[in-house]
Each structure stands twice: as structure tokens, then as C-alpha cells.
Amino acid sequence: MDSQLDVLKALRQTRHDWLNVMQLIKGNLALKRYDRIDEIIDQVTQQSVCESKITEIKADSVVYFLLTYNWFSNKVKLEMDVAGDVFSLEKDEVQLLRLCKQITEKLTEGSSSESENHLLLTFLFTDDECKITFDFQGHLHIEDQEWDEMLADSNVKLVELVENECVIVASFLRS
């Protein structure tokens, strides 16, 4: 029964998201802002391509977390980009899910609800590794040492941390 309810919830959320896109298009059509309509269609297309590519990592719990993240978080908006030839991250699924949850939770806790907060999650696949960049833009109140536990993992690096930006990069080797 839970799986049926999950499917219904996913369908409801997807329908809501598509209705929002249609309202944006309809509003811009009424304003004769055809260039903005093109932008909206391009954004939705790019998002759909990325969502399709991310499912190819074969780490179902990670894919589920990422694809449903915006349904449950209003404080930080997650966007994704996927580049390169995608390969399986199934062997790293537990570690990757833990990392995604830790980073998003810390950014959500440390971000201000008074500002727009965006997290761009980029998966860059090369021949021998996948580099995942967490690039947060918004208003953030986190000290360097708050990341220490997570950064103890040798494949995770804090690249930048300032009031309005936080960049973390993690690497996963191809098996």
C-alpha cells in the first residue's frame, strides 16, 4: 500500500509542477514575451534531460532523494546538471546518499529563509571518475569547522566557503 501511495504522491507532485510550467508559459504568452517562453521550454527540457541521465547512475536511493528533494524543501532549491558519459555509482550508493543528505541538511540549517537559496549539483563523468560539485548560492551562516566531520572523508573537499557561496567537491572512481 505504501508504494501505491508513493506513486500517487509522485504523480500529484509531477502534475503540480507541470501545471506551474504551463501557467508560466500561458502568462508569458499573454504578455507576448515569446523569448521568455523559449527560455522556459529550454529550462524544462534541460531539467528533464538531466533527470533522465541521473537515473542511469543505478543508485536508486540517491536518485529518489535528488528527484524528490524540491518537493520537501522550500528553503533551498536544488538544480542538477549531468555532463559526460554516465556510469553506475551503485557501489558507492550508501556513501553518496549519506553525503547528499549531510550536505543538503547542513546547507538548509545554515541558510537564511530571508533569501533565495540555490544548490546546483553537478555530476561530471570522465573516463575514470565522477566529480560531484555542490555549489550553493544564497545567504549562509556556517563556520568552516562545522564541515570537519564530513571532510574527514578523503574524497570530499571544501573548495570555498563565504557568506554567499559554498562549494564542495566529491570524487567517486569508476569501478
Lowest mean pLDDT among 50-54, 63-67, 141-145: 141-145
pLDDT tens, position by position, 4-55: 787 788 788 888 888 998 999 999 999 999 999 999 999 999 989 999 999 9
Residue 1 has pLDDT above 60, yes or no: no
Interval 130-140 mean pLDDT: 95
What pLDDT does residue 2 have? Answer: 67
For residues 134 and 174, the answer to whether their CB atoms sit within 8 Å is: no
Look up cell 546518499; give the residue.
Answer: 97
Lowest mean pLDDT among 41-45, 144-148, 169-173: 144-148
The CATH code for residues 57-173 is 3.30.565.30
| Per-domain boundaries in the chain | 57-173
Each residue of 85-119: pLDDT tens digit?
A: 999 999 999 999 999 999 999 999 999 888 899 99
How is 100-147 classified by DSSP, letter by letter?
A: HHHHHHHHHHHB-TTS--EEEEEEEE-SSEEEEEEEEES-B---GGGG
Helix (H, G, I), strand (E, B) or coil at 65: helix
pLDDT in tens, 151-168: 777 789 999 988 899 999
Are residues 166 and 107 in contact, defined by beta-carbon separation less than 8 angstroms?
yes
